[in-house]
Amino acid sequence: MAIDRHLVDAAIELTRSRFPGQDWAGAAALRLDDGTVLTSTAPAVPNSGVQLCHETGAICEAYKLGRRVVASVCVTAADGDRGFWVLAPCGVCQERLFAHGPDVEVAVPLPEDPRRWHTLRLRDVQPHWFARVFPDEVWPYGTE
């Protein structure tokens, strides 16, 4: 599995170092096809309508490097010292990650405890995604 404790800890470490002691702060970590781990977080902006997701910076960096994303995890520091929660990728980030194929692994929180997660492929997170009509061998998207 491309999502492991190391990937989750990379996102947690960025959150701790960038936003020490701040509740609801978060970050993401992505693993690339060569094993590289990239992390990023969302900048604060005055107009919430133009905010970016935590994954966006790392997705852009992967594109810059010409590498394919194979796994993604996003975390947030819950309030009240309740630890770090794993967040499933939002719909926009799912679309961004789908550019790397339907088999990108993403962390999804367990319903009974968001501090724990399991791994799903994008094709399983979004089983009715519009591009599922394309056969895998003619996948129309790539990282180019």
- The position carrying tokens 């719909």 is 91
Mean pLDDT, residues 85-113 = 95
- Does residue 82 form part of some domain? yes
Q: What is the CATH number of the domain that holds 126?
A: 3.40.140.10
State the residue range of the domain holding 15: 5-138
Please give the model's pTM, rounded to 2 decimal places: 0.89
The pLDDT value given to residue 1:
56
- Does residue 25 form part of some domain? yes
- Does residue 12 form part of some domain? yes
Domain total in the chain? 1
Each residue's pLDDT tens digit, 48-90: 899 999 999 999 999 999 999 999 999 999 876 789 999 999 9
- Spatial neighbors of 94 by CB under 8 A, at least 6 apart, are 106, 122, 125, 126, 129
Burial class (CB in 10 A: 0-12, 13-18, 19+), 93: buried
- Does residue 144 form part of some domain? no
